[in-house]
């Protein structure tokens, strides 16, 4: 009696098709890298050439005033880019980023005050305001202010630590929306009142000014102003690449998911806390760097930089240029501050009305900002656009 055998197994099993994952998108397109290289050349070569080598009488000459103004606006653009990371890509509207900007500025200002040495009005090793207040020695928080290396670390560490501690408790408590915005503004206002007090050792109402040197070299020279301009431009471009890398990574995709549907992100197994806290801290440190670059170019830092209006303006720059675009807030910072520079000279009494009207107009008619409008017009005029 023969027994039936089981169906024979094929000699070689058929291999299952491999899962094809999409290739990671490049950091920038070819056009994007070309634009980035052009911006780098303008900042590092064209601007110094026009300012230092082209005669002052030439129409191509870039004046010292223009260098200072553009350098200041580039510092503001870094803040706007930082705002885009937390507001545009994470949905967290901060009305207190002026605090982190000012903290970075104060750290750099303390170093610049120590660099004055005995060249102050009182010819003392202490800053002039401390001599005026009859202080006998530096307070403890000025201990590392004579070290440039320590200053560079503290420019990042001070805003970063404060942002981390504040953000940890705020995000852990799930404070969001308008409540978070109000708390950030309250924090900034409280810090401003603290820095106004003379006994805190931050110069009180006048803050820090009359800077003379940085790294032993005089500040009030054309070469130093251009050096600071170039450093600011390189920092802005570097932060743009960093932001671009962050938002295009898995980390950035989770941030955008948190912005759009935080509850769904939690149900998917992700904890929003570390993501929100990380981008919040990075954003604060970016503002600290911007403040540190701002102070030696402007020549002063005082508690007025922590005012509520300054923090609100940062949000306005991001909104005007276009949130969640990275390039938009940079454009917005240049548009708004360029208009401010012109209007405060020609019609100073109308500047605040213009700023308010601009923000209302963008909110009502340009929800995606200037960059969004340009993209919309480009899509309509392109050959493949729908009629």
For tokens 């990042």, name the residue.
156
pLDDT over 90 at 12, yes or no: no
pLDDT over 80 at 193, yes or no: yes
Residue of higher predicted confidence among 142 and 10: 142
Average pLDDT over residues 287-316: 95
Average pLDDT over residues 120-135: 91
pLDDT, tens digit, 9 for 90 and up, residues 307-347: 999 999 999 999 999 999 999 999 999 999 999 999 888 88
Residue 1: pLDDT band (50, 70, 90) is: very low
Q: Quick count: other Cβ atoms within 10 Å of Cβ 62?
A: 20
Nearest to 98, CA basis, from 290, 350, 259, 252: 290
Nearest to 51, CA basis, from 76, 34, 35, 71: 71
Angle formed by the axes of helices 250-267 and 222-248, nearest 10°: 50
Cβ-based neighbours of 289, under 8 Å, separated by 6 or more = 78, 104, 155, 156, 235, 239
Task: Determine the pLDDT at residue 183.
Answer: 96
Residue 298: pLDDT band (50, 70, 90) is: very high
pLDDT, tens digit, 9 for 90 and up, residues 345-378: 888 888 888 888 888 888 888 888 999 888 888 8
Task: Determine the pLDDT at residue 143.
Answer: 92
CA distance 270 to 274: 9
Average pLDDT over residues 26-40: 94
Every domain of the chain and the residues it spans: 62-306
CA distance 64 to 204: 30
Residue 16: pLDDT band (50, 70, 90) is: low
Task: Determine the pLDDT at residue 130.
Answer: 94
Task: Determine the pLDDT at residue 352.
Answer: 80
Residue 386: pLDDT band (50, 70, 90) is: very low
CA distance 181 to 96: 8
Average pLDDT over residues 33-43: 97
Angle formed by the axes of helices 97-116 and 64-83, nearest 10°: 140
Please answer whether residues 87 and 327 qualify as being in contact, where contact means their C-beta atoms are separated by less than 8 angstroms: no
Please answer whether residues 105 and 97 qualify as being in contact, where contact means their C-beta atoms are separated by less than 8 angstroms: no
Name the pTM for this structure: 0.92
The DSSP secondary structure of 21-48, one letter per residue, reads PPPPPPSS-HHHHHHHHHHHHIIIIIHH
User: Minimum mean pLDDT among 51-65, 156-170, 260-274, 365-379: which range?
Assistant: 365-379
Mean pLDDT of the chain: 91
CA distance 366 to 225: 37
pLDDT, tens digit, 9 for 90 and up, residues 68-103: 999 999 999 999 999 999 999 999 999 999 999 999
Task: Determine the pLDDT at residue 387.
Answer: 38
Task: Determine the pLDDT at residue 354.
Answer: 84
CA distance 342 to 350: 11
Helix (H) or strand (E) holding 369: helix 369-381
């Amino acid at each position: 009696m023969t027994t039936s055998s089981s169906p024979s197994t094929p000699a070689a099993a058929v291999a299952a098709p491999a899962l094809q994952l999409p290739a990671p998108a490049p950091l920038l397109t070819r056009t994007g890298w070309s634009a980035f290289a052009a911006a780098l050349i303008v900042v590092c070569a064209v601007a110094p050439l026009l300012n230092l080598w082209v005669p002052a009488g030439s129409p191509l000459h870039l004046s010292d005033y223009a260098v200072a103004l553009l350098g200041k606006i580039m510092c503001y653009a870094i803040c706007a880019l930082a705002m885009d990371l937390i507001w545009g890509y994470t949905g967290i509207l901060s009305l207190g980023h002026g605090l982190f900007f000012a903290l970075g500025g104060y750290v750099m200002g303390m170093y610049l005050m120590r660099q004055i040495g005995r060249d102050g009005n009182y010819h003392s090793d202490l800053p002039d305001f401390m001599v005026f207040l009859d202080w006998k020695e530096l307070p403890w928080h000025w201990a590392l202010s004579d070290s440039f290396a320590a200053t560079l670390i503290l420019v990042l560490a001070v805003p970063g630590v404060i942002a981390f501690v504040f953000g940890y408790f705020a995000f852990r408590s799930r404070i969001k929306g308008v409540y978070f915005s109000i708390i950030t503004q309250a924090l900034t206002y409280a810090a401003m009142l603290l820095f106004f007090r003379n006994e805190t050792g931050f110069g009180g109402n006048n803050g820090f000014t009359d800077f003379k040197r940085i790294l032993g070299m005089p500040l009030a020279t054309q070469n130093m102003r251009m050096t600071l301009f170039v450093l600011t431009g390189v920092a802005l471009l570097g932060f743009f690449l960093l932001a671009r890398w962050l938002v295009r990574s898995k980390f950035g995709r989770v941030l955008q998911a948190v912005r759009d549907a935080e509850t769904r992100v939690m149900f998917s197994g992700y904890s929003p806390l570390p993501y929100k806290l990380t981008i919040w801290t990075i954003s604060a440190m970016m503002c600290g760097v911007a403040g540190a670059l701002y102070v030696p170019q402007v020549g002063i830092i005082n508690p007025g930089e922590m005012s509520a209006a300054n923090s609100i303006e940062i949000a306005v720059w991001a909104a005007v240029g276009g949130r969640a675009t990275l390039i938009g807030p940079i454009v917005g910072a240049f548009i708004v501050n360029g208009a401010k520079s012109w209007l405060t000279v020609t019609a100073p009494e109308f500047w605040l009305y213009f700023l308010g009207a601009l923000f209302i107009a963008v909110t009502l008619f340009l929800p995606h900002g200037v960059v969004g409008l340009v993209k919309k017009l480009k899509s309509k005029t392109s050959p493949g656009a729908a009629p």
